[in-house]
């Protein structure tokens, strides 16, 4: 990390008043949650079209649920890491703050973040396919697919699958914050999935300073004001640590 570049970024962070953070699977990597597109990423070994679409669920709800139950068991063992804590610290330091996460693991909230929009949903929440009832269930389901207590239809994980839209309120809240922030920090996302992939450009268009942290170059790397190649846990912690 170039120290001069970092001190410029730190100054920009200290001066900012309205901060937005966008995170992806990379911020949970240091907690042991698998990413999607990395070398050991989930989409290297599993086909998203067979596991993360509505058609897949209609075709084989047991298979989809088995995969989600496996991921839930894996994530249950994971604890927040310094990236999550640095971001929850930012929320305390800035009066205007919004965290937009594509992660469904719930680790940001576990680390104390409360101003957070989970644009791809939450893996601990389930939703009825028919009546729309939704609730948190952190335990395992014995019988798959689980059924709705109200109407007996199948319950599904309340996450956004390929081909589905982001819930309107989540998207509106995100766009509003991105249009008014003076700093956007993008961390641990490959930048291939829309609409999050356009958020950096959206904020830059509105004159926000944009910083990005990733262990590899991303499609946005050349466009942002400050790009830091490295682990988000280390870089974000340094950004919020003593002046």
Applying CB under 6 A, does 116 fall inside the site for ligand OAD? no
Applying CB under 6 A, does 221 fall inside the site for ligand OAD? no
* CA–CA gap between residue 117 and residue 46 (Å, rounded): 27
x/- mask, ligand OAD, residues 165-204, rule CB under 6 A, reads: -----------------------xxx-xx-----------
* CA–CA gap between residue 241 and residue 163 (Å, rounded): 40
The site partner of 38 among Zn ion, ligand OAD, none (C-beta below 5 to 8 Å per kind) is: ligand OAD
* CA–CA gap between residue 213 and residue 228 (Å, rounded): 5
For the four alpha carbons of 227, 107, 134 and 117, in that order, the dihedral sign comes to negative
Window 152 to 171, contacts with Zn ion (CB under 5 A)? 153
- Name the nearest CA neighbour of 104 among 79, 88, 125: 125
Applying CB under 6 A, does 102 fall inside the site for ligand OAD? yes
C-beta nearest to ligand OAD: residue? 26
Among 216, 222, 242, 243, binds ligand OAD (CB under 6 A): 216
96 is catalytic: no
Applying CB under 6 A, does 105 fall inside the site for ligand OAD? no
Q: Do the beta carbons of residue 13 and residue 239 sit within 8 Å?
A: yes
* CA–CA gap between residue 160 and residue 122 (Å, rounded): 9
Applying CB under 6 A, does 38 fall inside the site for ligand OAD? yes
* Residue in the block written with tokens 């894996």: 74
* CA–CA gap between residue 226 and residue 10 (Å, rounded): 10
The site partner of 125 among ligand OAD, Zn ion, none (C-beta below 5 to 8 Å per kind) is: none
Q: Which residues are catalytic?
A: 120
Which residues make up the interface to Zn ion (CB under 5 A)?
128, 130-131, 133, 148, 150-151, 153
């Amino acid at each position: 990390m170039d120290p001069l570049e970092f001190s410029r970024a730190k100054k920009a962070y200290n001066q900012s008043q309205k901060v937005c953070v966008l995170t992806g699977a990379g911020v949970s990597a240091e907690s042991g949650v698998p990413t999607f597109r990395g070398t050991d990423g989930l989409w290297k070994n599993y086909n998203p079209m067979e596991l993360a679409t509505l058609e897949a669920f209609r075709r084989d709800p047991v298979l989809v649920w088995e995969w989600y139950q496996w991921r839930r068991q894996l994530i249950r063992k994971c604890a927040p890491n310094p990236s999550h804590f640095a971001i929850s610290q930012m929320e305390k330091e800035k009066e205007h703050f919004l965290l937009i996460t594509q992660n469904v693991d719930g680790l940001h909230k576990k680390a104390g973040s409360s101003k957070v929009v989970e644009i791809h949903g939450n893996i601990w929440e389930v939703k009825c396919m028919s009546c729309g009832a939704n609730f948190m269930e952190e335990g395992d389901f014995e019988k798959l697919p689980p059924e709705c207590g109200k109407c007996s239809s199948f319950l599904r994980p309340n996450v956004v699958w390929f081909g589905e839209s982001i819930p309107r309120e989540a998207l509106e809240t995100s766009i509003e914050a991105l249009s008014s922030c003076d700093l956007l920090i993008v961390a641990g996302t490959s930048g291939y999935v829309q609409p999050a992939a356009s958020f950096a450009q959206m904020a830059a268009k509105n004159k926000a300073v944009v910083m990005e942290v990733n262990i590899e170059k991303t499609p946005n790397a050349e466009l942002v004001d400050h790009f830091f190649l490295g682990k988000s846990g280390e870089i974000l912690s340094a950004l919020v640590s003593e002046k």
